[in-house]
Structure 1
Amino acid sequence: MRQLTILLALFIIPNMGWSQVGDTPKSKPLKIEVANKKDEQGKEQKGTALRMPDIVGNKPEINFKDSLAGKKPIKMYPDRELVQAGTGMKIDPKVGPRENEKEGSKNYFGDMYLGEVKSNGKFVGVVCRDHEYVDGDRVRIYLNGDVIDPNVMLSGTFKGINVDLKKGFNRLEFEALNEGSSSPNTAQVDVYDDQGQLIYSNKWLLSAKSKASLIITKE
């Protein structure tokens, strides 16, 4: 009996030690590799990483000139309707006498003789106004070569002065100082005797520096 017990002990004890050794967890070494391996020539291998398109470095070259060459522009309407506003219009921004208004041209208004009138009164009243568009026309009035009013601005209403008469011929002259904003210088002139009666009326068209003359005779 004792021998049987010894045999069982010899059989069980090694098995218990073997089971304890087999239950012990085994450690596995962690393998760490370089992210970008290098090949034999020393170049990095990037593997199969996701490749994004390079939108900064690779810029496509577009030749707009060549792309439009040979192409006709799109037109919404026929050519006969595509006319620029103001086509054919001539605009003259200048105010006053035009460059082509020279003596001898059809747009030049030279000196005028308004005629002769008789009056035996002590004086006459001479008035004038712009009978067309009021555009800033101005005149200078002379009597026998002497200035009696240096600057009369013609408006829509009559303006004037009294002129003393001497025996014989009294020559009145109206010089156009400008032509206003609309050529020429235009005016209506009326003459009244010392009794307030209208004895003369006329109109003139003058270019700048031209004169209209009127003779008043006193016997």
Structure 2
Amino acid sequence: PAFPPGIQPLYREIGDWIIVCDNTRQCVAKYLLGDHDGDSNPYDEDAGIVIARGAGPAGDLTVDVTAGSSFDPNTIRIDDAMPRRRPKWERFDENGGASIDDVDALSFVREMRDAKTVSWSGKSRGSRVPLRGLAAVLIAMDEAQGRIGNVSALGRPGPRSATTTPAPILPPTVTQGPKPSPLAKPDALARSVPCWAAVGSRTRPRCSLSSCRVLIRAKLGC
């Protein structure tokens, strides 16, 4: 088989979040704008948070925060308080987005896990993202990547070493097969294939596939 048994793609919607993992154990969790967000996120419908995690013990972890307009990532708050670890945000998209990775991302995500909202201020408006369902999403990500109970887990860490995380699953290698030889006599082959066509009220065989310009009866094999 191309992949070991039990390694299957994952897609779940939990609360305000979705999680997607492919069958190589690469995972992405994303805030999903819900129907109730007219109350919980009244300022910025383009606000979003994306958590991406690579597979394996050394899998990269990144957090991207985005908004519909320029904002200062230093105003980002978790439950209206400064993050316990001050992350070093890298701005992108003309200051409409900010990103962190590695230790900063790990600390930020674990703090979000036990919180209710993440918010920030922009030049013209503020944003507030609800975290309902995120804790369950992070546990699902840990489970899909085999991190439950080790120090690299996001939702359910434990004392075991990160090296106990299963290695990434490499995608199968697809190789191009040999180029088929051209047909020696394509016209003769076409004439040898029976073709039935409906002409007016009658049905009669036609001998040339290339000249079939009438309705072909698919159920008869043409």
State the TM bucket, normalised to the shorter chain: under 0.3
Question: RCO higher in 1 or 2 (8 Å CA, sep ≥ 6)?
Answer: 1
| TM-score normalised by L of structure 1 | 0.21
More strand by percentage = 1
Larger radius of gyration: 1
Q: Which has the higher helix share?
A: 2
Instruction: Give the TM-score taking structure 2 as reference length.
Output: 0.20
